[in-house]
Amino acid sequence: MPTHREERGEYLIEASAFHLPGGTQWQPRLTMTRLPFAKALSKSQAFPGLTPVFETARGAMRYATELGRSMADQGSPRLIV
């Protein structure tokens, strides 16, 4: 399963693609981790069942990466860590 990791602001974005059984489709997966600072520990939030599905792992991973970037940049209410 391909994985992309990058730091964006106070978050680590981990985007990947999951190969769905019985076909050629890939589902995006996203984990956002707030990086530790001062005396606060890191916390993670997973978004495992994202839609839409893609024909390639690269497309699914790109979608999850862009979603993570926009959530980190815009302070999305879906991001609770």
Provide the number of structural domains found in the chain: 1
Say if 22 falls within a structural domain. Answer: yes
Q: What is the dihedral of CA 15, 20, 23, 27, to 10 degrees?
A: -40
The pLDDT-based confidence of 1 (bands split at 50, 70, 90) is low
pLDDT tens column, 7-34:
999 999 999 999 999 989 999 999 999 9
If you average pLDDT over residues 33-54, what whole number do you get? 92
- Rounded CA-CA distance 22/35 in Å is 37
pLDDT at 64 over 70: yes
If you average pLDDT over residues 58-78, what whole number do you get? 95
Say if 63 falls within a structural domain. Answer: yes
Say if 55 falls within a structural domain. Answer: yes
Say if 81 falls within a structural domain. Answer: no
H-run or E-run covering 73: helix 57-74
Q: Which pLDDT score, from 0 to 100, does residue 49 have?
A: 87
- Residue range(s) defining the domain that contains residue 46: 3-74
Q: Where are the extended beta strands (E) located within the chain? A: 3-8, 11-19, 26-34, 43-47
pTM attached to this predicted model: 0.91
